[in-house]
Chains A and B, each alone.
Chain A
Amino acid sequence: MAALTEQTILEGLAEIVNEETGLDTASVQFDKSFTDDLDIDSLSMMTIVVNAEEKFGVRIPDDEVKNLKTVRDAVGFIVGAQA
């Protein structure tokens, strides 16, 4: 798959967050913290991570998930993980 842009990944991630939590896709912005701003707990975060792996064709190991505190962290990781 050709490398996706940050914006495309953000939109894809927003859809995944919406499917898992019902949150409006517009609320998924780069500067938002998953726990503090979007109120997403660690189990929902895992679901989002696994769905993102499938959607974007990347691997996000368990010990990396703890480092994805903001939407920007997650998008940045996915961008970097695209081989």
Chain B
Amino acid sequence: MTTIPQQRRTLTTTAGAAYSRIWGVGGYRPERVVTNEEICEHIDSSDQWIRERSGIITRRFAAADETVVDMASAAANEALRSAGLMASQISTVIVATVTHPYQTPGAAPIVAERIGATSAVAFDISAACAGYCHGIALANDMVRGGSATFVLVIGVEKLSDFTDKTDRGSAFIFGDGAGASIVGPSDVPGIGPTVWGSDGSKWKTISQRNSWIEVRDGDVDWPAITMEGPEVFRWAVWAMAPIAQAALDQAGIKAEDLDAFIPHQANMRIIDALVKKLKLPDHVAVARDIAETGNTSAASIPLATQRLLDSGEAPHGGLALQIGFGAGLVYAAQVIVLP
């Protein structure tokens, strides 16, 4: 072992809030509604098959000139309104996305500038459909650790840019949108422990088809995102149900204590299977936003949360179990108090 030199000075460190909670949530759904019939103009399928396979009836596509930054900013402003905060109070902006079409710069500093959170800490995270829950985990730790006061966590995707509309396995699944939450200090716990991790051995089951280098050098098509549906389904149900249970256990919460279950809106059949495996009682509201929103990856959980609250299906101040899981493969789950 290396000898540690004796320090002449002790570092000072920050102390954060005792706990954190979600202060507000907001969402942005693009205007253009895309039906299954329109999707079926490019694939040999039907509205009935798509509904049975995935539960999706419609999804939204952003306009051609509507960017990830545009959508993220709109959702952020909704979250600020919901929380009763001003952009100048935001210390940190985290954008979870896989569809910001620049290797660099990230979307977060541009969003921060756009909404008026000028000079905020701002960075993107790439954790696919688990990105938002990763962001909530980081925000919780930052607020409690003292490196942030109010954190804007945004999940945003323009998956329509990265979807092959002729791929029968995936063309009907993906949609566009953005959802945002603001995490801030609290006197009582508002965000439970995060249960998270990865399984990189399964990275090929959800992936952009080719790397950018292969695109540059080879004769390959635009690298859309594809999935090995059945394998992902198996992982999402049987590997994720124990993770969701662990998030409940670590928060000291039982299924019957929940007011809402908000899983990543990947596929209605995954949602149904998770509800069954977790033995959620009937009074627990289950997010099924995928029916009208499609799978919006990192945006899906905050958008679904906003819908449950706006519709009155879930109570403000209620307990919700949220779980994100996706490409990587990566996952993150935590119990939260709804704003």
Instruction: Report the tally of A-B residue pairs with Cβ distances under 8 A.
Output: 25
What's the nearest-Cβ distance from chain B to residue A19, in Å? 11
Interface pair B53/A46, CB less than 8 Å apart: no
Q: Is B233 an interface residue (CB 8 A)?
A: yes
- Among the interface residues B53, B229, B234, which one has the most CB atoms of the partner chain A within 10 A? B234
Chain A residues, Cβ within 8 Å of B267:
43
Interface string of B262-280 (1 = CB under 8 A from A): 0000010100010000000
Chain B residues, Cβ within 8 Å of A65:
230
Interface pair B53/A50, CB less than 8 Å apart: no
Having A42-B230, A43-B267, A62-B231, one finds 11 other A-B pairs with CB under 8 Å, namely A41-B52, A43-B53, A43-B229, A43-B269, A45-B230, A46-B230, A46-B233, A50-B237, A50-B238, A62-B228, A65-B230
Q: Is A29 an interface residue (CB 8 A)?
A: no
B-binding residues in A (CB < 8 A): 41-43, 45-47, 49-50, 62, 65
- CA A14 to CA B228, docked complex, whole Å: 26
- CA A43 to CA B55, docked complex, whole Å: 13
Chain B residues, Cβ within 8 Å of A41:
52-53
Chain B residues, Cβ within 8 Å of A45:
230
- CA A50 to CA B267, docked complex, whole Å: 18
* Interface of A: prevailing SS: helix
What's the nearest-Cβ distance from chain A to residue B173, in Å? 13
- CA A46 to CA B267, docked complex, whole Å: 14
Interface pair A62/B53, CB less than 8 Å apart: no
A-facing residues in B173-231 (Cβ within 8 Å): 228-231
What's the nearest-Cβ distance from chain B to residue A67, in Å? 13
What's the nearest-Cβ distance from chain B to residue A73, in Å? 16
- CA A60 to CA B267, docked complex, whole Å: 23
Question: What are the 4 closest A-B residue pairs judged by CB atoms, nearest first?
Answer: A42-B230, A62-B231, A46-B230, A46-B234
Interface pair A42/B229, CB less than 8 Å apart: yes
Interface string of B29-72 (1 = CB under 8 A from A): 00000000000000000000000110000000000000000000
What's the nearest-Cβ distance from chain A to residue B277, in Å? 11
- CA A50 to CA B228, docked complex, whole Å: 17
Interface pair B234/A50, CB less than 8 Å apart: yes
Chain B residues, Cβ within 8 Å of A43:
53, 229-230, 233, 267, 269
Give which listed residue, B52, B234, B273, contacts A62 with CB less than 8 A: B234
What's the nearest-Cβ distance from chain A to residue B175, in Å? 19
- CA A42 to CA B53, docked complex, whole Å: 9
Chain A residues, Cβ within 8 Å of B228:
62
